Amino acid sequence: MALGFSSVEVDHLALVSSLLVPLLSLIRKATKLSIFPFSLPLLFYFIFLKPLTAISLSMLSIVEASHHRQWPYLKSTCTATQPLHALKARNFDGHLQFKEIGENIVKRCNGLPLAAKAIGSLLRTVQDHSEWEKVYESEIWDLPEDPCGLIPALRLSYHYLPPHLKRCFAYCSIFPKDYEFEEEEIILLWRAEGFLQSKAKIQGKGLGNQYFQDLVSRSFFQRSGKDKSRFVMHDLMNDLAQSITGEICCRLEDDKQSKFSHRSLHSSYVTDDLYHSVKKFEAFYQMTSLHTFLPLLHGKCRFYLTNVVVEDLLPRLSCLRVLSLRGCEIFDLPDFFENLKHLRYLNFSSTQGNCLPDSLCTLYHLETLILRNCSKLKNLPSKIENLVNLHFLDISGADSIERMPSGFDQLTKLQTLSNFVIGEGDGHLIRELKNLSNLRGNFCLSGLENVNGQDVREAKLNGKLGIDGLELQWGADLENSTRKKEVEERVLDFLRPQKKLEQLIIENYGGVKFSSWIADSSFKNLSSLKHRNCKTANHYHQLEGCHC
């Protein structure tokens, strides 16, 4: 067999080759590329070995219209491979008991590639022959045709989801079609809504990662064709989610207030316009039990929201768990948080205020606080120690923040802290990091010119086992007479991180030499080491032996 393909696959490849020219033309149009390097084996892979994407499905449907005689065989071969993918096999040899039932299930898909993909993903999760029979015999196949054109295979795939994944998937109906989202973005929302509950040891973000990847593997989410770090839902999957949630989840698009009612719990609105009047939000006044108020930026970074919404509507929504004003041109945030005691998620990214209301620190249930790119924000609330349930604090891009308030040692549940800023005269505050043993991911320490070695030693950075990316920043003014080279060298010595660190950045360091731990062979996972503007560090040869 050529390249290890079966005879059926070789026949299919021969058929595909006859469609190569028109299909390549369609691919170029779909991807808006004038040149698209596409080898024949890769085309074969694209047709029925690679998971089908929305683009590939649309192109195949066009090929159907142009090549209707060959299409039935091409389509049937494409769908017939899905049971084999479920068994992780090239053929049914060694799996003969699945052959007949697999072929019968394929017939149920009526040659629809998306249906075959969904069922193939479902069958991967049920490896018992009796379970395959249950899939084939399900009454869902025989339900009347859905007015929205939903495929029975999609409903069947949802039916077989465990309850926790059903809840997480259905919630995503608040996202408009073609909306691209990041994994972390969805997990933070799920956690705020209380969907990440488990008696197992896996909790919080780790559990969310598991849920998210389960939905990806079952084809409910798929990677974006534009940005591989983001995900989308196929249009029909989006329709499925909407049909499940009904009035519980609603979204405001193009001034259409569809399915909004007093029963709605989760809502989003697409910010297509620059200005948003109160009329657009009239329906929200009846949703007194609303849990989610979420703007979704669509092609714009900022928008203007009438003060009536901020000062009158939002304080009325006392059941809110998720509140986002991301991108809203707000300069002074009203002090309304005492009315929103149930908030778990708060996103003020890219807003224009220079301070946060003190009442924010009465949000004792708050888990996520996102302040990305709040370029004018100078300080965090002084009583931040009251936010004892805070898991996630992101101030990346909020470069005007001058110092961190005291009280971080009380935030022992904190897992993500993008940056810890040490102000002049506040060097002792770095000691408060000692209690933050759950920190993980990327972490930046800035203002290190304001600390001494003993303060840093008490921070116990090497005990933060979850940190895999570390950035150490001193002030940019290397000529400042108050800075002492020997002090900075001692500080760097005591900033030794845990040994599984993967990325390290050192910026504006004023010492004459680097610490010996940087080139220590025990840092086997260190794959990236960068230094920026370390003008007085003339011992760069120390880094030459670094294994990264």
Burial class (CB in 10 A: 0-12, 13-18, 19+), 430: buried
Cα angle, residue 60 at apex, residues 56 and 65 outer, rounded to 5°: 155
Residue 291 — very low, low, confident or very high, per pLDDT cuts 50/70/90? Answer: very high
Residue 285 — very low, low, confident or very high, per pLDDT cuts 50/70/90? Answer: confident
What's residue 404's pLDDT? Answer: 96
CATH 3.80.10.10 positions along the chain are 246-401
Q: Are 190 and 196 in contact (CB under 8 A)?
A: yes
Burial class (CB in 10 A: 0-12, 13-18, 19+), 436: buried
The mean per-residue pLDDT over the stretch 326-338 comes to 83
The mean per-residue pLDDT over the stretch 430-448 comes to 96
The three state secondary structure string of 319-360 is CCCEEECCCECCCCCCCCHHHCCCCCEEECCCCCCCCCCHHH
Residue 167: which of 248, 239, 222, 231 has the closest Cα?
A: 248
The three state secondary structure string of 269-337 is EEECCCEECHHHHHHHHHCCCCCEEEEEECCCCCEEECHHHHHHHHHHCCCCCEEECCCECCCCCCCCH
Is 70 exceeded by the pLDDT of residue 515? yes
Is 80 exceeded by the pLDDT of residue 360? yes
Q: How far apart are CA 479 and CA 544, in angstroms?
A: 27
Q: How far apart are CA 171 and CA 211, in angstroms?
A: 13
Least confident of 85-99, 117-131, 231-245: 85-99
Percent of the chain residues topping a pLDDT of 70:
69
CATH 1.10.10.10 positions along the chain are 163-238
Is 50 exceeded by the pLDDT of residue 460? yes
Cα angle, residue 43 at apex, residues 39 and 48 outer, rounded to 5°: 155
Residue 20: which of 46, 52, 49 has the closest Cα?
A: 46
The mean per-residue pLDDT over the stretch 75-102 comes to 52
Q: How far apart are CA 72 and CA 77, in angstroms?
A: 8
Beta pairing class for 368-370 and 292-297:
unpaired
- Average pLDDT, rounded, for the chain: 78
Q: pLDDT tens digit string along 159-189? A: 889 999 999 999 999 999 889 999 999 999 9
Q: Are 515 and 491 in contact (CB under 8 A)?
A: no
What's residue 434's pLDDT? Answer: 95
Q: pLDDT tens digit string along 481-509? A: 888 999 999 999 999 999 999 999 999 99
Higher-confidence position of 156 and 132: 156
The three state secondary structure string of 253-264 is ECCECCCCCCCC
What's residue 409's pLDDT? Answer: 95
Residue 180: which of 126, 218, 234, 133 has the closest Cα?
A: 234
Higher-confidence position of 143 and 252: 252
What's residue 75's pLDDT? Answer: 46
The mean per-residue pLDDT over the stretch 357-386 comes to 94
Burial class (CB in 10 A: 0-12, 13-18, 19+), 503: middle
Q: Are 495 and 517 in contact (CB under 8 A)?
A: no
Residue 394: which of 444, 469, 341 has the closest Cα?
A: 444
The mean per-residue pLDDT over the stretch 149-156 comes to 75
Q: Which two tokens stand for residue 37?
A: 């390097």
The number of helix segments (H) and strand segments (E) in the chain equals 17, 17
- Quote the pTM value: 0.80
Q: What is the CATH number of domain 246-401?
A: 3.80.10.10
Q: How far is CA 138 from the centre of its chain?
A: 34
Residue 41 — very low, low, confident or very high, per pLDDT cuts 50/70/90? Answer: very low
Is 80 exceeded by the pLDDT of residue 301? no
Left, alpha or beta for 204 (phi > 0: left; psi -120 to 50: alpha)?
A: left
Residue 548 — very low, low, confident or very high, per pLDDT cuts 50/70/90? Answer: low
Q: How far apart are CA 138 and CA 413, in angstroms?
A: 45
Q: How many other CB atoms are found less than 10 A from the CB of residue 130?
A: 8
Return phi, psi of residue 267, to 5°. -140, 150
Query: The CATH number of 163-238 is which of 1.20.1600.10, 1.10.10.10, 1.10.357.10, 1.10.3720.10?
Result: 1.10.10.10
